[in-house]
Every structure is written in C-alpha cells, then in structure tokens.
C-alpha cells in the first residue's frame, strides 16, 4: 500500500533497531518529526475536557502503519493523561489501509518485536488498543467519541489519482490541467478528512497532524536547496522512455497518488467561516512548517571524507526506493512479466545510485512538514 | 495461529464462495453453527439496556478470524438494534491473535472479496468496525464499554499447552496427570475469559458463546458415534512412530493446545456464588449443547452411491487437515528440514485418506458445541 510505504520504512527500522546502530540511523528522520511534535500532543492533553465518569480518554493514530514511530510520543501522551486524569482508562485506535500489516502493529505493541518486551501497552495499566483497516478519508469512529487524533506523514496520500501526469511523476512537477486536477482532488480529500475528524471528535477534542507539505520557501520532501529528488526521478524515468526501456505510455502512467499542500491550503477550510469544516466546529490552533534533515546526508557530511560518495549513494538510495518503488512498478504495463518489471525498476534505482555516486553534491531527502494543531469547539 | 485454524477454514471457503457451490458446501458446518445461534444474538439485543444519549451500541466478536462466518448473524443483530434503538450508531470490535490475517477481515468487511460489494458495513449507515489483535484470555476493551459479546468456535484454545500428552494427541484421549493438567489449565483460562468479559460488559450486557465442548452423551468434534477422529489422528501418528518415520519424542510433543469443556465445566463459575466470576456480576441465562452434522459426510450419504468412498475421502480429509496440520508440523523436531517436515505430514494425511477410502463407514466431523448466553448484572 503506497500510503504506508514511508511509514513502513520507519517500521522496518524500528524493528531492526535491535540489530544495532545502522538501522536506527535510518529511522531517525521519521521519528525526529514525531518527537518534534510530542509537545503538541502533551499540549492537547492539557486542553481536552475531562472524560465522562467511567469513560476512557480516547486517542487515534491515523495512517499508523505498524505504530513504531509514534510509540514513544503516545506513551508520553498517556503518561500526561494519567497525571491530569488519575485512574482513567485509555483507548487507542490505529488506522491504516486494509492491506496494512496489522499483525506487525500488534506484535510491536505487545513487545514481540523488541528484545526487551517493554512497550507502553505492556508497561502501563488500563490501556486498550485496536486497529481500523479503512482509509482515513471517511469517518472511522463513532460521533463525538475521540479526544485526541494524531497523524504523521500520511495525509499527503490521495484517495485516488485524479489523472496522469504526462511530463513528470509527481504533482510537484505537474502543470496546467494535471496540476489543477491534483489540487482539486487534494482539496476535496482534505475536506473529507477534516469533516470526518470533526464528526469523530468530542467537543474540546484535539487533532495534531504532521503532514508532508510545501513550506513558505517552496521547499518539500527532497527539495530543500540541492538536487530535486522528484525531478531526478522524472528525468531518469524519462531517459528510460527515450531509450525505449519503458514506453511513453508507461512514463505517463507513472505518478505518485500524492499531493503536497501548502500551509495556506491546509488552513483555508479552517479559517473560512463559510466552510463546512468551520461550521462543523473545527478550528485552527497552530500551524507551522519545519524541515528535518536527511539522516543519510548528515552521516555522509559528518564522516568528512571517511565515507565515499559511492558508500553514501548505496546507503541513501534504498530509503528513497522503499517508499517509491511501488509507484514505478505500478506504472509499468501488466503485459510485462513480473520479473521484467522488477528488472526495469532495478535498473532505474541503479541509475539513481550511479548519479549520486558520481555527483553526490546536493542529494538529500530532507523532510518538510506542516505541523497543525486543531480543536473541535462545542457548537 | 492454531486458535484461528478452524475459523480460517471458514474464511477460505467464504472467499472462495464466489467460485461456486463446492466451497460454500465446505463452510456450511461452521456457518450453520452460527446461524443456529443467530436467535440468541437477537434475544441479547432485546435484553440490553438502552445506550447513553449519543453513545453507540457496541458489539465484539472474540476469536473472529476474518469475520466471514459471523457476518450474516452480525448484520441481523445490527438490524435488530436499529429497530429497538432508532438512529443509534453501532461499533463492532473483532478480536483474534496478533498473527491473524486482519487485512482479510477488513477486505471482507469492505466487500473487496465479494463479487457484489455488499456487506453490512457497506450497506448499513453509522456502523464502525475495528480489530484487536490480542488473545481473549485478557481484558481487551475498556471497563463497562461492551453491550454484546459473541464468540464462535474459538474458546477451546488454551493460552498455552500445560504439558505433553504422551500416549495421545488431544486431551480427549489424555489420562492421569496430563488430563488433570489440561483440565486445570482450561479451568483457569475459562475464569480468565469470563472475568475479562465481566469487566468489559456494561450492566445489562450479554455474552453469546458457541464453544466446542463435550455434550451430555460424551460426544465431541469428530466423535458422535462413528469412528473417533482424534483417536484416528493418534493411532496413525503412533504408527508412524512405530515405523520410525517420526521419533517417540516427536509423538509425545504433538498435542492440540485445546480443551473441550463439559457443560458442567462451562457453567460452574457462573453458578457458584462464591466464584470471582459470579461476584463480578456474570450470570448464566441459558446453556445447551447441539450437534451440527458434517457437510462432507452428508454430501456422501446423500449421493447414495454416486460418490465413491475415495471421492468422499478426498473431499473430507482436507477439512480436517486445514485446522490440524499446524499441530502435527509443530510436533516435529526443528532439526528436520522444513521440506522433510512437510513430507511427513503429507504422508500422515495420505494415510488418513486411505483409511477413509478403504473403510468409509463412520467417518464424519460433526460439530458438537455448547451454546451459552450470559448476562452482566448491575452489582
């Protein structure tokens, strides 16, 4: 599931952390983003209304994958809930698409994947978890049942790809009708997401969302001043079309079902008093953008010569591949044998790696997020 | 996961039903059992207390596998809830072990596995689902949050195997210390199950459970007057030990982590006023046993000669294999290559099939269940 790819990368790293430092290095970026926002969750706990007598405080992590990267932040949140509302039970719902690996989620929560079987679920009393395997573009929880909703690096995924992008592979390079169609799809999806959450939240409830986006300086994932990652994807894929390794139709059919919203796009329905979202009681509390540096680039820079460009390329490209490969595979025609499709995509990432090894300057997958805090007011 | 094997068999069949009548024939037994009990769920809806204003009615299916066999019964239950409490939202939690295929559950609920995408979740408004991937021997839901709990053909699985069974493969053939150890483990697990449910249920809430058991005539799964299925398993496995195909240690290490309780064992903690279960407010409403005939045997008998004994054996043994194979595989020593272990188990079921083909009389996997309805009273 493409929605999960980036988070799943985080997953693999979390699980592999027991093996040593190499993999924990690989998860640092996604976890840094959530740790950055841990204070926003604590602030949310401070603001929610007390639960009704005998009712739990409820949390949800939307687009949670295996729950690995958010586990520490959620633990801190529960501990804060226990301070503010002693003796209160806590219920946490993890959501993701149907094909998510929910077994990995529960094994993680139960501590089966850790050498030391300590997780918030095994350590803290009176905490209950469940999972909902349905996309977050629709209402997933009963009306007014949620105290704090959380989402990290998930809501850039669209419910569907509105059209092809003929001359690029991502909406950041789309123009004209394609750019407009992606923007419209994203605007509708964002309304759907916010209206669903407005129904789920109790009055006084909070949403904390860390979404991939485009910041005030036009920066976005893999485009923070150096080589543009998505332009590199597009150029290498286009070259393979020119060389007839893939067809022109396959190039056109390849597009990430994603949209990076600007802070204005994120905030618009929350500030326009006539919008359905505003009328449903959702209000903007805070919005800001932030960049979290690429851990691979940082490791290379900090090695100051002790790591070769080839070594950097070999460490860097697999992280791009982990969340983007499914998109390039799905662009290829089904008439090709599966092995052939995999061979083509192998060649594609080999070319990316060669390019980085030959000209390492400026390659980095920095994370650019919009950090949003919202509240549901009583109408 | 052994707990799921029998229900998973139902799953495979449910998914495959679109392919025609052969597979639906294979699920008939498990689904008949639930359909038998559909009235018990409707009765439960009649008895629960109205939900608090703005709160959903909550259901849970404990040990649900992919939710296929209970789907019709749950739909009828929701429809009855809507008649009794118009406009009320409904929340359903499906539980199973962490390694359950929760993706199959959600795909089933969303109608992805059906030719016609109609399930209660796609057809009925204001119904919300989630899953909990933790075993039902512990509390899975917050205190006093559950209106109706349901479980079918799942709670005969023990939380762990208390000891080996040296001269048999199932507790139905165990004697002496082994029989006592299994009985004690089962008694403790049953207390754990009931105490967990007592915490989860709201006052007025109901439990409907259809558990494999031993009836008043001593009948149990595959032992209803003809050839005893578990004795056949044990004899064939023992013969393979005598022939040195498996070792004596492997024979001893093979045992189903199950216990078939009698109706007295099911009811004891609910009738003993000094038990923790009774004191937690759980009360017995009804208990009865019932036998649902083996659909394979029925098809063979009804064919009256048009089906050969070999054809019957070829249709019958795979259903036994689907839920028992993991137990025989796990009894084999890990020092054997995986292929060798599979070859041994292939030979085992080949021998079972030959025995049925040569002497078909009396072979049948009739289901024997104890049907229980419980209520949580206000203390």
Tell me whether A129 touches chain B (CB under 8 Å): yes
Minimal C-alpha gap between B95 and chain A (Å) = 9
If you average pLDDT over residues A60-68, what whole number do you get? 94
Check residues A3 and A43 and name the one with the higher pLDDT.
A43
* Model pLDDT for residues B312-323, shown as the tens digit of each residue: 999 999 989 988
* Model pLDDT for residues A284-297, shown as the tens digit of each residue: 999 999 999 999 99
Question: Residue B240 and residue A134: Cα distance in Å, rounded?
Answer: 48
CATH number of this structure's domain A2-163+181-225+256-295+365-376: 3.40.50.150
Q: Which A positions 78-97 lie with beta carbon below 8 A of chain B? A: 89, 91, 93
Residues of B327-356 as b/e, b for ≥16 C-beta within 10 angstroms? bbeebbeeeeeeeebeebbeebbebbbebb
Minimal C-alpha gap between B224 and chain A (Å) = 37
A55 CB neighbours in chain B (<8 A) are 142
Distance from chain centroid for Cα A85: 31
Minimal C-alpha gap between A119 and chain B (Å) = 14
B143 CB neighbours in chain A (<8 A) are 54, 89
Check residues A97 and A14 and name the one with the higher pLDDT.
A97
Partner-chain residue, chosen from B56, B99, B107, that has the shortest CB–CB distance to A142: B56
* Model pLDDT for residues A322-367, shown as the tens digit of each residue: 889 999 999 999 999 999 999 999 999 999 999 999 999 999 999 9
Tell me whether A103 touches chain B (CB under 8 Å): yes
| Residue to test with chain A: of B130, B139, B146, most A Cβ within 10 A | B130
From A90, which residue of chain B is nearest by alpha-carbon distance?
B142
Tell me whether B307 touches chain A (CB under 8 Å): no
> What's the pLDDT band for A22 if we cut at 50, 70, 90?
very low
- Using the beta-carbon criterion (under 8 Å), do A128 and B144 form an inter-chain contact? no
* pLDDT at residue A5, rounded to an integer: 35
* pLDDT at residue B2, rounded to an integer: 33
> What's the pLDDT band for A28 if we cut at 50, 70, 90?
low
Tokens of B334: 């890990």
- Using the beta-carbon criterion (under 8 Å), do A106 and B133 form an inter-chain contact? yes
From B202, which residue of chain A is nearest by alpha-carbon distance?
A54
Residue B210 pLDDT > 50? yes
Residue B17 pLDDT > 80? no
- Using the beta-carbon criterion (under 8 Å), do A130 and B130 form an inter-chain contact? yes
The 3-state DSSP class for residue B90 equals: strand
* pLDDT at residue A1, rounded to an integer: 30
Q: How many CB pairs under 8 A join A and B?
A: 79
Q: Which of B235, B237, B258 has its CA nearest to residue B331?
A: B237
* Model pLDDT for residues B85-144, shown as the tens digit of each residue: 999 999 999 999 999 999 999 999 999 977 767 899 999 999 999 999 999 999 999 999
Question: Residue A21 and residue B84: Cα distance in Å, rounded?
Answer: 58
* pLDDT at residue A33, rounded to an integer: 87
Q: Which B positions 140-179 lie with beta carbon below 8 A of chain A? A: 140-145
- Using the beta-carbon criterion (under 8 Å), do A99 and B99 form an inter-chain contact? no
* pLDDT at residue A113, rounded to an integer: 78
* pLDDT at residue A37, rounded to an integer: 86
Rounded to two decimals, the ipTM of the complex is: 0.90
| Residue to test with chain A: of B58, B64, B65, B103, most A Cβ within 10 A | B103
Judge whether A256 and A182 are in contact, CB under 8 Å. no
* pLDDT at residue B3, rounded to an integer: 36
* pLDDT at residue B373, rounded to an integer: 98
What percent of chain B is modeled with pLDDT above 90? 85
Tell me whether B40 touches chain A (CB under 8 Å): no
| Residue to test with chain B: of A109, A142, A378, most B Cβ within 10 A | A142
Q: Which CATH superfamily is domain B2-225+256-295+365-376 in?
A: Vaccinia Virus protein VP39 (3.40.50.150)
B131 CB neighbours in chain A (<8 A) are 102, 130-133
Check residues A22 and A79 and name the one with the higher pLDDT.
A79
Tell me whether A311 touches chain B (CB under 8 Å): no
Q: CB-based contacts of B59: which residues, under 8 Å, 6+ apart?
A: B74, B77, B78, B90, B91, B92, B93, B146, B147, B148, B149, B150
CA angle A359, A252, A172 (to 5 degrees): 55
* pLDDT at residue B149, rounded to an integer: 98
| Residue to test with chain B: of A119, A133, A136, most B Cβ within 10 A | A133
In which region does residue A265 sit, left (phi positive, over 0), alpha (psi from -120 to 50) or beta (all else)? alpha
* pLDDT at residue A95, rounded to an integer: 98
Minimal C-alpha gap between A56 and chain B (Å) = 7
* Model pLDDT for residues A212-244, shown as the tens digit of each residue: 999 999 999 999 999 999 999 999 999 999 999
Return mean pLDDT, chain B. 91
* Model pLDDT for residues A106-160, shown as the tens digit of each residue: 999 999 977 767 899 999 999 999 999 999 999 999 999 999 999 999 999 999 9
Check residues A167 and A16 and name the one with the higher pLDDT.
A167
Return mean pLDDT, chain A. 91
> What's the pLDDT band for A29 if we cut at 50, 70, 90?
confident
A141 CB neighbours in chain B (<8 A) are 128
* Model pLDDT for residues A178-189, shown as the tens digit of each residue: 999 999 999 999
Q: CB-based contacts of B2: which residues, under 8 Å, 6+ apart?
A: B157, B256, B257, B326, B327
* pLDDT at residue B5, rounded to an integer: 35
* Model pLDDT for residues B20-29, shown as the tens digit of each residue: 334 444 556 7
> What's the pLDDT band for A35 if we cut at 50, 70, 90?
confident
Tell me whether A107 touches chain B (CB under 8 Å): yes
* pLDDT at residue A15, rounded to an integer: 28
If you average pLDDT over residues A40-55, what whole number do you get? 95
- Using the beta-carbon criterion (under 8 Å), do A133 and B99 form an inter-chain contact? no
- Using the beta-carbon criterion (under 8 Å), do A133 and B131 form an inter-chain contact? yes
| Phi and psi angles of residue A265, each rounded to the nearest 5 degrees, phi first | -65, -40
Minimal C-alpha gap between B210 and chain A (Å) = 24
* pLDDT at residue A116, rounded to an integer: 67
Tell me whether A239 touches chain B (CB under 8 Å): no
What percent of chain A is modeled with pLDDT above 70? 92
Q: CB-based contacts of A303: which residues, under 8 Å, 6+ apart?
A: none
Q: DSSP labels for B196-262?
A: HHHHHEEEEEEEEEEEEEE-TTS-BTTBSSSS-HHHHHHHHHHHHHHTTSS-HHHHHH---SB--EE
């Amino acid at each position: 599931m493409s929605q999960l790819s980036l988070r799943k990368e985080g997953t693999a790293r979390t699980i592999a952390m027991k093996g040593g430092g190499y993999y924990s290095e690989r998860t640092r970026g996604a976890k840094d983003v959530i740790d950055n926002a841990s204070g926003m969750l604590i602030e949310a706990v401070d603001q929610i209304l007390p639960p009704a007598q005998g009712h739990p405080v409820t949390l949800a992590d939307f687009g949670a994958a295996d729950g690995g990267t958010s586990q520490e932040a959620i633990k801190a949140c529960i501990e804060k809930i226990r301070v503010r509302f002693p003796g209160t039970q806590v219920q946490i719902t993890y959501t993701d698409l149907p094909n998510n690996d929910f077994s990995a989620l529960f094994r993680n929560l139960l501590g089966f994947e850790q050498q030391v079987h300590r997780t918030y679920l095994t350590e803290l009393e009176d905490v209950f978890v469940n999972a909902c395997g349905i996309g977050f573009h629709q209402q997933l929880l009963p009306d007014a049942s949620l105290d704090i909703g959380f989402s990290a690096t998930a809501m850039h995924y669209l419910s569907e790809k509105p059209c092809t992008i003929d001359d690029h592979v991502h909406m950041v390079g789309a123009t004209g009708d394609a750019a407009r169609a992606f923007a419209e799809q994203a605007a509708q999806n964002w309304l759907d997401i916010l209206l669903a959450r407005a129904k789920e939240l109790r009055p006084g409830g909070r949403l904390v969302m860390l979404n991939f986006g485009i910041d005030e300086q036009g920066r976005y994932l893999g485009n923070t001043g150096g080589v543009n990652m998505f332009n590199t994807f597009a150029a290498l894929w286009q070259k393979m079309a020119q060389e007839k390794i893939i067809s022109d139709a396959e190039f056109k059919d390849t597009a990430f079902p994603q949209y990076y919203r600007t802070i204005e796009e994120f905030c618009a329905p929350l500030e326009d008093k006539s919008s359905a979202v505003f009328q449903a009681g959702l209000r903007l509390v805070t919005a800001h953008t932030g960049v979290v540096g690429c851990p691979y680039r940082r490791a290379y820079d900090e090695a100051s010569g002790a790591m070769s460009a080839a070594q950097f390329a070999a460490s860097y490209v697999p992280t791009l591949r982990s969340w983007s490969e499914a998109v390039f595979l799905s662009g290829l025609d089904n008439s090709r044998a599966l092995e052939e499709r995999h061979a083509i995509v192998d060649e594609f990432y080999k070319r990316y790696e060669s390019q980085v090894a030959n000209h390492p300057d400026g390659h980095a997958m920095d994370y650019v997020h919009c950090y949003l805090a919202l509240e549901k007011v009583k109408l």
